[in-house]
Amino acid sequence: MSQFEDITAQATSLTNHDRKPIHLPGSIQPHGVLLALSTELEILQVSNNTHEYLGKQVKDLLGQPLNCLFDTQQIEAVKQCLVKKIGSAIAFKVSITTLNSERYFDAIAHHTEEAVILELEPTDSKSELSFLSFHALASEAITKMQSTSNLIEFLHLAAQEVQKITGFDRVMIYQFDSQGAGSVIAEVKREDLSPYLGLHYPATDIPSPARELYTRCFLRFIPDVTTQAIKLVPAENPTTHQHLDLSYSVLRSFDLCCAEYHQNMGVAALMVLSLIQEQQLWGLISCHHQTPKYIPYEVQKMCELLGQIVSSELTHKISHSEWDYKVKLKSLQSEFLESISQADNFIDALIKPEIRLLDLVSASGAAVCLDNEITLVGTTPDINQVHALIEWVDNQVSDNLFATNSLPKLYPKATTFKNTASGLLLLRISKVRRYCILWFRPEVIQTVHWAGNPNAAMIEVDGNITLSPRKSFEQWQETVRLTSLPWIPCELDSAIALKNAIVGIVLSKADELAKINQELERSNRELASFAYAASHDLKEPLRGIYNFSTVLLEDYTQVLDDDGIECLQTVVNLSVRMETLINALLRLSQLGQAQLRKQSTDLNELLDQVIDVFRASRQDSELVDVRIPRPLPTIQCDKVLVNEVFSNLIGNAFKYNDKPEQWVEIGYLDEGTGEQRGRGAEGQGGRGDEVKIRPYTQFPVFYVRDNGIGIPEHHLETIFRLFKRLHSQEKYGGGAGAGLAIVKKIVELHDGQIWVESTVGVGSAFYFTLE
């Protein structure tokens, strides 16, 4: 982090230079005359030097029509500026007869919202620079500059041509950074002058108002910084009662701070040309001379045109210098996005191979955050540091795209991992969920060469930070730490393209999934209808097989031998078994088409009914130990179906129990224990995945626990399948193996979940929710 950045951060109460309305100075430079006119061309204000140049006193001009100075043809030329946009100037030659002689001037006219401004600069003759001479100078300069595609070489040639045309001692190309500071990136100078090439200048050297003015007025010329400004008379426009806006004036006076600054550099005359790229101030062509130097207006305009040509070429040259890198990023981006669009799991495609995600923005590390799941890629801070950083980002950064090359400046804790993450690029994929990607860049220690100590421009006066012109411009070194290489626009564009692609892929997958779900729902409905019809229709022939077999056993026993009787008995048993399976299938198909009839249900009353029926069906009912530690709640549910759930689970608890003293316990979880983890039924968190259950404070978690034989761990995934039995028909009373499948279906109809925890030889506990 730059020491100068620390100081400028304190300069929030600048008392002079950065606050002055420099476009309203109320004065001009003394090498010309200014007249402010009404739209009817009546003279409203004049500079207080008219007698020197025009041979007329100020009082003799105020309130007079312009024809007191100009002839009809010249007046018509002035009027032409009124049809142009604000600030667009018209220049022409004029001659004015004074007391002693006829004088020639370059006349420059433009209009503002409140006045027509006419400026007169004296010239030696009425002849203009010929078009052919101008064309020869300009075309030679343009040809040379277009001969190279290298940006720095191009700017050096531009500086050479401007010096050749103007004869200034030093011509520099000065580029601004994003903070308004700048550096000299090209220079042509007199051999005996100290070089400024490569030196940096703080943003305070060219304050914000001056930079803004350079975006509107492309030429600034000061032939002598030692001269005294000439006041306007009257000081305020008599029509508007405001100071005259001189933003576009070629004679506008300069600030004393500006004069002192350049005198400290040994500069007596200067000309500045704006370089504009994409309507933003990119830099300046700054011309310095050690002695006062006047340049004719035609030459000034030629330099202004040259500056505009350099501006127009900038985009091409910059684009060419960045082209290879952009092409590389685009190619990588295209390949990357194609691969993740085709992947079944686009998260895996993001991070495998890891280098693609990093190369997409030229990062050294990255963190992919999907809610609380964070995957680290490349060289990154540790997982705890990344967690803390994401928390900070969530609280401090609202933008979907955020980049900084000095993270420790914003987040001081980042100082501890500056070697991996002094630079941060954040891409938010979703604001609804915490889906984001963070890219990191390491610290790059830089040595910055300043033109003099930038801190010397800051002085404290009465508790306020004030700017003062520096006295020295000798090279001053500063070591900048805690910063990374900056993120450039094409890298940010690459990150945004990744987000758009991910969103597009997710939407596409969502559409596909919706179509699959629709098809699945249709298939399920058809399957349920088929199962119902098939099971219903199968019962009639099966009943016939059973009845005829029974008749044969009862009426034809004397005809059949022992083998025949045994075969018929087997047919009867199989018919009964088949009917049991068909009834189970029929019940499941009915559940698939059922509509819940929810009502307020006291589970205590419901359990009393279940237990009464269960005791009545067992001969050893006195041995049935059903424990209910505390009363169960009243809930909204389908009373008939939930009765079936408890009946199945309680029945299984006693059925699969070989202990001398059998018991089953029915209850719900205490507060604070509502988050349980166990092996879920298929479709309830995946095959054997851990399932996290909501706290019972919102939906109670019920359980049916026993001391039975238990279930082997490798069967916990499959016991909820239809017709799945873990034992032969001869053991534990047989059965169709459909009870738990029916229980699972009923729980799902209530938007609940069911899972089991079990230990072989100890017992099982079935947990379920009913929402």
Q: What is the pLDDT of residues 144-154, one digit of tens each?
A: 777 777 788 88
Structure-token match 């238990």, residue found:
710
Q: Is domain 333-447+485-499 in CATH 3.30.450.270, yes or no? A: yes
User: What average pLDDT does the segment 691-695 reach?
Assistant: 36
φ/ψ of residue 584, rounded to 5: -65, -45
CATH architecture of structural domain 596-769 = 2-Layer Sandwich (3.30)
User: What average pLDDT does the segment 429-436 reach?
Assistant: 78
User: What average pLDDT does the segment 622-650 reach?
Assistant: 83
For residue 546, the model assigns a pLDDT of 64
User: What average pLDDT does the segment 637-646 reach?
Assistant: 83
- Report the alpha-carbon distance of residue 450 to residue 453 in Å, rounded: 6
- Please say if the pLDDT value at position 358 is more than 80: yes
Superfamily name and number for 4-21+130-228+250-320: GAF domain (3.30.450.40)
Residues facing 104 on adjacent strands: 95, 123
> What pLDDT band is residue 686 in, cutting at 50, 70 and 90?
very low
Choose between 59 and 353: higher pLDDT. Answer: 59
**Chain mean pLDDT for the chain:** 77
- Please say if the pLDDT value at position 353 is more than 80: no
- Report the alpha-carbon distance of residue 237 to residue 117 in Å, rounded: 12
Residue 456 to residues 258, 472, 475, Cα–Cα distance (Å): 16, 9, 13
Please write the tens of the pLDDT for every residue from 74-126: 999 999 999 999 989 999 999 888 777 888 999 999 999 989 999 999 987 65
- Report the alpha-carbon distance of residue 219 to residue 212 in Å, rounded: 13
Choose between 533 and 678: higher pLDDT. Answer: 533
Topology adopted by domain 31-123? Beta-Lactamase (3.30.450)
Residues facing 277 on adjacent strands: 280
- Report the alpha-carbon distance of residue 596 to residue 655 in Å, rounded: 29
Stated as kind and residue range, the H or E segment containing 40 is none
For residue 385, the model assigns a pLDDT of 92
Q: Do domains 31-123 and 503-589 have the same CATH topology?
A: no
Please write the tens of the pLDDT for every residue from 365-394: 888 888 778 888 888 999 999 999 989 988
Domains of the chain, by residue range, sit at 4-21+130-228+250-320, 31-123, 333-447+485-499, 503-589, 596-769
> What pLDDT band is residue 14 in, cutting at 50, 70 and 90?
very low
- Report the alpha-carbon distance of residue 353 to residue 340 in Å, rounded: 11
> What pLDDT band is residue 40 in, cutting at 50, 70 and 90?
very high
Tokens of 294: 């006047």
Of 451, 122, 119, give the one whose Cα is nearest residue 267. 451
> What pLDDT band is residue 291 in, cutting at 50, 70 and 90?
very high
Most confidently predicted of 101-110, 347-356, 436-445, 678-687:
101-110
Q: Is 282 helix (H, G, I), strand (E, B) or coil?
A: strand
> What pLDDT band is residue 500 in, cutting at 50, 70 and 90?
confident
- Report the alpha-carbon distance of residue 284 to residue 176 in Å, rounded: 8
Which segments of 98-218 are extended strands (E)? Answer: 102-111, 116-123, 170-176, 182-189, 200-201
User: What average pLDDT does the segment 510-532 reach?
Assistant: 59
Class of domain 503-589: mainly alpha
Please write the tens of the pLDDT for every residue from 171-206: 999 998 877 888 888 999 999 998 888 888 888 888
Residue type, 544: G
Choose between 429 and 296: higher pLDDT. Answer: 296
